[in-house]
Amino acid sequence: MIRFLQTEGPVKKIVLGGLLLVICAAMVVTLIPGFMGTDFTGQPAKGVVAKVNGSDITAEEVRQTARQMLQQQGSQLGANASMLLPFFAQRAADQLITREALLAEAGRLGLQSAPQEVKDELQHGRYSSAFFPDGTFVGEEKYTEMLASANLTPATFEDSVGKQILIGKLQALISGSTSVSDSAIRQEFIKQNTKVKFDYAVLKQDDIKKGLHPTDDELKAFYESHKTQYANSIPEKRQVKYALVDTAKVQAAVQITHDDLQAYYDQHRDQYRLPEQVKVSHIWIKMPLPGPDGKVDDKAVADAQRRADDLSKQLKSGAKFEDLAKKYSEDPGSSSVGGSLGWIGKSQTSPEFEKVAFSLPQGQVSDVVKSSDGFHIIRVDEKQAAHMKSLEEVKAQIEPLLKQQKAQQMALGQAEELRNLALTKGLDAAASAKGLPVVTSDFFGRRDLLPGLGPATQFMDAVFTTAEKSPPSLSPVTQGFAVFQLLAIKPAATPTFEEVRARVEEQFKSERSSALLSQKTQELSDRAKADHDLKKAAKELGATVKTSDFVLPDGQVPDLGSMTGQAAVAFTMKPGGISGPINSGANGVVISLLEVQAPSDADFAAKRDQIRESLLQAKQQEIFELFISNLRDQMEKSGKIKINQQEMKALTHAGGEEGM
């Protein structure tokens, strides 16, 4: 159970993410009268972002909450996630202020959360899968360890859960009278489940583009009118000469002595310590799950133990362990391989299992061992005492590492010697003295590849930040180190028409075909409406006519795309009606509605409750959001919420992440 906190997963996100006390924004049109109280004097002190109803929200609380938010979404935000800390700090401060405001209002109304409610939430609510897997508590020790990994104590965590319960009660109080009318439910049902079938004529931008053959005069005029787009679009280029000190060639001559190996081994002894381990197999009979009342049936427990005892007797009578494990063990992960769990160390299993597994002699089979999760019969297949690997055992791992390190140091030294010599004699003479070839490049851009270097970001950064007439410089590259000298610079330039003619032509065709597509689609709609005949208009303008299947409002239609976009107009039309022009990406479309298929009463009966719940939740959310907005506005006006703008600016201003 402790291990789950070391890996990503939905349970971990519940435990860590839930602790943010994110206000479930949802639900009343006006404030409950009388929430106002005595004005709280005094401005927030330094280090305090806001004072809410007399309680301080510190800058450190905001930072911690912002970091948790960022951690939750870091993988989605990418490598630059930390740059968004100021944005998350703003959200964190807002949520913490809102939380305190809601807690203050809940307290004013006399709402409370009892310890038993907290316990019920942990056992049966969002945290149950973490702390009560399969309905069984993980135990105080593991519970404490799990919370400690999130920098929480049981007291602080349970207090936060109690506050969540309070806010939930306030939410229920505010939205308790919310209802949805039967007519609204039916209207939403009809909206979601009505189907339409239609003809649709499609004009493709690609077809129009193929028919465009602009003249040079047209393209030149287009180029002149869009010249700002091409300004300095030819990137700066540079020319260098360079010599490479290849680490691989240096490494081939590196010799590693026994003293080198011994010194590294002595400095890294802790890496080679192996803990005590045992290789075990087991047969497991699960502990029965609790019933609806939370209690485990004693008869079911006795039956599970009886089955385990019977298997133990069979083993003592000569039955093969692997056969019984495959047939009777209730551990799907090991039963298929004869019960083998492989090597395990300390603190990886329950205390009862661990005690027997590490005390049993190799080759021996235990009696039935009872633990919190069931009954085990354990066999110790191998044992390994805690020990340190010898130098001989790890020599093959250490030697290549030392060779690489020593070669890197030697290559750097040789590159520095080459650069220093080049400073006095020039790069060509210095490289010749060292027996190294010099490569003179053509002009290249920052993203180009150079012979012998391949991708070389650091090298390119060094080259493109070096001033003209600078002395030879040194830069690391993938293969080792390069000593280079800048020869010439071609600054960024605006291309002539001839240089970008192909690009200009493509852009011209794209813009012109897009405009023509809009015009032609409008003409298609106008003609079809005038003649009440989409097919005739489509034939005259070269459009392709297709017929859809019956489609729902969230459906997809080939060449038209999602019905939630402009095509949603089909659900407002009557049979025989013709739509205006519809822009569907690179296609222009006009619809002629054929048939509307209304949903049945039987469908309504089946979906009524689901739609009611969906509409109710949306309405409650809207009401509570308005309640929160009004509550905060009134508390700020009355002085019950005081915000330290200086602290807020320090946390949320660009560059504020430095303090995060």
Q: Calculate what percentage of the chain has a pLDDT beyond 70.
A: 90
Is residue 83 predicted with pLDDT exceeding 80?
A: no
With CA atoms as reference, report the closest residue to 16 among 128, 182, 157, 139. Answer: 157
**DSSP 3-state assignment of 517?**
helix
Q: Given pLDDT bands bounded at 50, 70 and 90, which one contains residue 20?
A: very low
For the chain, give the mean pLDDT: 86
Residues 482-522: pLDDT tens digits? Answer: 999 999 999 999 999 998 999 999 999 999 999 999 999 99
With CA atoms as reference, report the closest residue to 126 among 82, 165, 155, 154. Answer: 165
Cα 213 to Cα 279: distance, rounded to the nearest angstrom: 77
Specify whether the CB–CB gap between 308 and 368 falls below 8 A: yes
Cα 493 to Cα 505: distance, rounded to the nearest angstrom: 20
Residues 376-409: pLDDT tens digits? Answer: 999 999 998 888 888 888 888 888 888 888 989 9
CATH of 195-212+500-597, one of 2.30.30, 1.20.1250, 2.60.40, 3.10.50: 3.10.50
Residues 132-143: pLDDT tens digits? Answer: 887 778 888 788
Q: Given pLDDT bands bounded at 50, 70 and 90, which one contains residue 13?
A: very low
Q: How many CB atoms lie within 10 A of CB 127?
A: 17
pLDDT of residue 141: 79
pLDDT of residue 543: 96
* Average pLDDT, integer, range 11-18: 36
Query: Are both 237-249+401-490 and 276-385 of the same fold?
Result: yes
Cα 419 to Cα 404: distance, rounded to the nearest angstrom: 22
With CA atoms as reference, report the closest residue to 229 among 447, 464, 497. Answer: 497
CATH of 237-249+401-490, one of 1.10.3470, 3.30.1330, 3.10.50, 3.30.310: 3.10.50
Strands (E), 214-314: 237-246, 273-274, 277-286
Domain 276-385: state its class.
Answer: alpha beta
Is residue 477 predicted with pLDDT exceeding 80?
A: yes
CATH of 2-178+620-659, one of 1.10.10, 1.10.4030, 2.40.50, 1.10.3470: 1.10.4030
Domains of the chain, residue spans = 2-178+620-659, 195-212+500-597, 237-249+401-490, 276-385
Residues 615-653: pLDDT tens digits? Answer: 999 999 999 999 999 999 999 999 999 999 888 888 876
